[in-house]
Each structure stands twice: as structure tokens, then as C-alpha cells.
Amino acid sequence: MLRRYCHHLSLLLLLLPILGSNATCPYDLDSATPLIPATCYANATDTAAGSTTTGCCWFVFAAYIYAAIRHANHTVVAFLPDPAASDCASAFSASLIRRGLVRPSLLNSSDSCNLSGDLAAGKRPCLYTTVSAIRSAVNLSNATRLCATFQSDLSTNQSACADCQNAVVGATFDLLNITNSKEFVPCGMAATIGIWSPAAPPLPRFRSYALCMLQILENVGSLGTSNLLPSPPPPRLPSSSASPIPPSSSSSRSIKIAAGSAAAGVASIAAIVFLAVLIHRSRRRRSTDNDADRTVTIGSPLPTDGLYIFTKAELRQATGGYDDRLLLGEGGAGRVYLGKLPSGQPVAIKRIYREKKLPEFYREVEILAKLRHRNLTTLVGYCLGSREHSLVYEYMAGGNLSRALFHGELTWHRRVRIAVDVSEGLAYLHDFPEGAVVHRDVKPTNVLLTESGVAKLSDFGVSRIVPTDGTHVSTEVRGTMGYVDPDSFSVGHVSEASDVYSFGVVLLELVTGTRAVVPTPTGGAESIVHKAQEATTRGGSDGDGGVGSIVDPRLGEWDRASVGAAFKLACRCVRPYKNERPQMTEVLVVLKRILADLEARLGLSGDVVSSGPSTEEASEESWVRAWSL
């Protein structure tokens, strides 16, 4: 008791100077500003390359967190109370603008990099008062070893950078679970301060950490290679009689999601690390493992049975010399163009020119060459080049499910049919004779639609074939934020249950019309899984199991039996532990029964497929309006 009293008294004495000052920031902010590169200065002229706003905002918060870490090392105080926290944020913003270290618009705009004192004001979960409280709440020894005490330069050592990132993500998840919180921004900040404050890192050391994380952030421009697959309507092919087509300003580009705070932009180093891993985790494995993979895979002959091996000249001819007017999408690996083969068949040509994406190219060819199913995208062929490779797919004129669901109008009948199609494809993968094929990135942007509305699963760049003994273990975090199986973080095994979880999230999106993760007014993010859990806990007044409170209002008078059954199935799929989830074969059986019952009530034939948007029936203007982001 006496020891506890003395501890509280000493802590109070530490905080008294802060609490007693309304206009003093205890952080040494000036020592942290050298983290901000010259390209972010107000008078900088080199602002065209890269995501300038994102990168500069990153370094602003890196500098602020560095100052907090240095202060924590000297005082053991992890987070400041108000008004000191607000004073620090305001003083830092004013100092950066006054000294010309950032453009005023960067900090004055509420939708880019608005520093908020609330981030460190102790008003949210995970904002522990002391560093010891953070380190007592969660085991940070591994993250400290891999990030703070590792001697290699994290900005250049890709293996060390990936290991550090995984450790920070794991620590953030632990804090989220301990505090029963969805607020990953403060929990990520707590993890970062807890990891780094004992080491009191010199500026160059912390800069290497910030640069390491910036490398990952730059990859967030694509949410996996799926965004390189076509989703807009087919542009008109150039011809002598056709008038020139102006480049589209709304071409399918990957979405940079900062789900922790869409309005606040980058919130902290740890928060961005957390987001970057879950949004885009297609990093190479440890350098030794990656080199081995490249030697084995690249040195091995790729399959040719059933595939056409294109030449670069053939692909150049098919795309009119890679005409920008035929650009369908762009992402972290390269670009996708609409092509036309001599037979007249339209194809989507994914041109991959980033070296780090080449292992995914080989993996996709090797896996797709083995697979043939109505609900999987068909690989027509590929092209091997010295500096770039290309994948040639069947063209999917209906776009992707994300656009159809969130930017179009899908009836409930169409949604159930799509769910059946996707579950058909997944069930086929999981029952593959050579071993279960685990997709590992099931999400709406990876579900493509034919012009007649048939859904097909796409993007197998991060997929794995699990041996029949089920012993495959992966140390990588794969998938997209909101769809990643939480059990995979602790277990590390690649299994079909991870796909079941991701599919459950997609099914919840079909029921609710809500994205998997949405920003909250407080700067955090809310998961659709949490919303579903809350709805089932509350229940419904009409005995609907709670689905009535979150069902998509665009459905109008919704079919209670089928919607309720689909919602119940989705909730089973997203249970926290994999042994509690159904297998895809069971999911498929249940969905087929739901569809049959629904069609019987609607008086529809089971063979009827409601067509998707048609380029022949809709004008170009209305098509773009319905499908553009």
C-alpha cells in the first residue's frame, strides 16, 4: 500500500508542472523538426512526385511523436493531459508554419494533416499515463528488439523493416484487445511510445524507422493487385472512323484508405503502420526466404498447358501501343489496359513492372494454370520480359463488386446470386485435389462481374496451396484491413478458415450496404463485424436477430426470411476463432437454399440471371456516373 501511494505521489509530482501550465508545452519540438524533409518546406519546388501531402503529413506526425518519445524517456509520462496536449499541438503547428517547414495549407486544411490535441489528451482508450503502464499492459519486448534495438538501417533493410512492422501491428492488436477498443490511432501511438521511449533514439535512428514505414505507406496506393483488374466499362477501341477519346479523369485508380480518420489524414506513425499492413500487406518475405523463392520460382519453367505465351509485340499491338485511352486501372504493381486479340476477343492486360511484384506474378500463373471454374477469372496467357511481365485475363465488362454495391444499385436477389457465385468459387478452391487453395484476399474489389452478372473471384497473387497435411505456416500478414482473419495474427497458419472470415465480411457488406471499415467522427474506425455483433447483442423488436437495425435501407421492403438467414450465416463466418466457423461447402449449401427460397417467393426461375449494367443499354455518361469512384 505504501509503495503504491509513493508511486502515485511521484507521478502526481511529475504531472504538476504540466497541469499547472495553460500555455507551456513540455516537448522539445525544435529538436524534432529536422525529421521533416526539405521537399515538404513551404518554398519547395519538387512537389509533383509521389503523394506529397501524405508523405509530408507522415513526417509532421513522425516529428511530433519523436518529441513525445524523447519527453517520455526523461519523465516516464507517456501522454499529456489537457491543456498541455492541445498547447503542444497548436505550438507545433504554428512553429512549422512560421519557420516555413511545411506549407500552411497542409496544416490548415481539416481534410489533410490537422494536428489535434485530442490525440494525446487522454480522452481515448490506450492513452496510458506512463510508459510503464503501457509496457505492463502489453509485452513489447519483441517489438523493441526488432525496431528500437535492431542495429541495421530499417530504411534499407527490407527484411528488418518487415519484421519490425509485424511486431508493431501485433502490439497494436494486443492493446486493442486489452482495452476492448476500435480506436487504433491512440493504441498505435501507445505501442510506438512504449517501444521507443526506453531507447531514447537519436534522430538518425528514428528517421530510419520513419523512412521504413514510409516505404510501406507508399505501397498503400493499391489495395493489392486486385485493383489492377478492370472495373470500368470498356472504352471504345481506337479506329480510323472513331473520334479521339479524351483520357478519363475518373479512371479506375486504387483508393488510399486511411480508415482510422478519413478527415484527419495520417494520424501517427503507429497508426499508419497498422493501416498500411492491413490495407496493403504484399511485402516480400525476409530477404533470405525471398531470394530462395525467386531462385526456385523464376528459375523454374512456368506452366504452358492451356495458356498462350504472348510476345511483347503482340500485346503492344493488342493495346494500340499501350494507348492511354485504353487504360483501365493503375496500382502498386503497374497498369491494366483493355486489349483486343486478333480474334476480336477483348482481354485485360496487366502490365507488371515493379520488381517486388514479380513473385506474385509467378505465383498467380502457377496457381491459375491449375484452376478452371465458372466462378474464377480465367487467365488467357502471359508474357515474360526482361524488365516487365504481363498477365492476360478474360475481360470482365461488369466491373467489380465494390463499384456495383457502393456506387450502383444491386437488388437483394442479385446480391444473393453473387454470394452464391463467390462461395462456389471458394468451395472449389478449398476442395482442390492437390491441396486447399487459400485465396487470402477475398474482398469486393476482387470479385469481378461479367456483363451478364456472373461473379468471379480474381487476384491470386497472394494465394497459397496448403499441403494436404495442413502444416503450412506463414509469418506474413496478408489481406486488406477489415477482411483479415484476426485469428491468423496469433496462430500464423494459412487455412481455409481465413477465407471464410473474409467472405463473411463481404456477405455482411451485401446485407448492410456498408463498407467493411468506415471512419468514425472521433478519428477511429468502426468495423462492420463489430456493428453486426452489436446488432445481434441488442436483438430486434420483431425477432429479426438484430438485422433490421443495420440492413441496407436501399433495399426498401426487404425480404425478412432471406436477409435474416444471410445475416445469421455471415455472423457465423466472422466468429473470432476459426474452429467456430463453417466450412465453405456448408456456406454454399446454406446460400443455395436461401436463394432457392427467395426465388420461389419472387416467382423467379433458378436459371434466370439478372443482367448487370450494359454498355448497349446505357449511355456513356450514365455508365461512368454509375461506376466511377
pLDDT tens-digit series, residues 86-116: 788 888 888 888 888 888 877 765 445 666 6
Q: 363 and 408: one domain?
A: no
DSSP-derived secondary structure for 56-102? HHHHHHHHHHHHHHHHHHHH-B-SPPTTHHHHHHHHHHHHHHHTTSS
Q: 121 and 53: one domain?
A: yes
Amino acid at 422: V
Distance, CA of 626 to CA of 629 (rounded, Å): 9
Is 261 or 91 the better-scoring residue by pLDDT? 91
Is 525 or 597 the better-scoring residue by pLDDT? 597
Q: Which of 24-38, 49-63, 74-88, 367-381 has the lowest mean pLDDT?
A: 49-63
Task: Specify if 174 maps to a domain.
Answer: yes
Over 70: is that where the pLDDT of 455 sits? yes
Over 50: is that where the pLDDT of 623 sits? no
Residue 308 structural domain:
287-394
Q: 564 and 591: one domain?
A: yes
pLDDT tens-digit series, residues 469-492: 554 444 455 678 889 888 775 555
Q: 275 and 296: one domain?
A: no
pLDDT, position 595: 96
Q: 547 and 576: one domain?
A: yes
Distance, CA of 271 to CA of 168 (rounded, Å): 10
Mean pLDDT of the chain: 74
Give the other-Cβ count within 10 Å of 521's Cβ.
Answer: 8
As a dihedral over the C-alpha atoms of residue 36, residue 39, residue 42, residue 44, rounded to 10 degrees, the angle is 160
Q: Which of 49-63, 108-122, 249-263 has the lowest mean pLDDT?
A: 249-263
Task: Specify if 14 maps to a domain.
Answer: no
Q: 109 and 164: one domain?
A: yes
Distance, CA of 212 to CA of 152 (rounded, Å): 12
Q: 266 and 356: one domain?
A: no
C-alpha cell read off for 134: 503501457
Last residue of a domain, one of 376, 394, 412: 394
Q: 56 and 178: one domain?
A: yes
Over 80: is that where the pLDDT of 362 sits? yes
Over 90: is that where the pLDDT of 249 sits? no
pLDDT, position 220: 37
Q: 410 and 379: one domain?
A: no
Across the strands, what pairs with 392? Answer: 349, 381
Structural contact between residues 463 and 479, judged by C-beta atoms closer than 8 angstroms: no
C-alpha cell read off for 195: 517501444
Last residue of a domain, one of 394, 420, 452: 394
Which CATH number is 612's domain given?
1.10.510.10
Q: 364 and 465: one domain?
A: no
Last residue of a domain, one of 394, 424, 442: 394
Q: Report how many domains make up the chain.
A: 3
pLDDT, position 608: 47
Active site residues: 441
Task: Specify if 250 maps to a domain.
Answer: no
Over 60: is that where the pLDDT of 298 sits? no
Q: Is 307 helix (H, G, I), strand (E, B) or coil?
A: coil
pLDDT, position 386: 73
Task: Specify if 244 maps to a domain.
Answer: no
DSSP-derived secondary structure for 332-400? SSEEEEEEE-TTS-EEEEEEE--GGGHHHHHHHHHHHTT---TTBPPEEEEE--SS-EEEEEE--TT-B
Q: 388 and 413: one domain?
A: no
Q: Which of 110-124, 231-245, 409-423 has the lowest mean pLDDT?
A: 231-245
Which CATH number is 379's domain given?
3.30.200.20
Over 50: is that where the pLDDT of 48 sits? no
Task: Specify if 19 maps to a domain.
Answer: no
pLDDT, position 376: 95
pLDDT, position 30: 86
Q: 490 and 361: one domain?
A: no
Task: Specify if 249 maps to a domain.
Answer: no
Task: Specify if 523 maps to a domain.
Answer: yes
Q: With bands split at pLDDT 50, 70 and 90, how would you rate the model's confidence at 215?
A: low
Task: Specify if 242 maps to a domain.
Answer: no
C-alpha cell read off for 284: 516480400
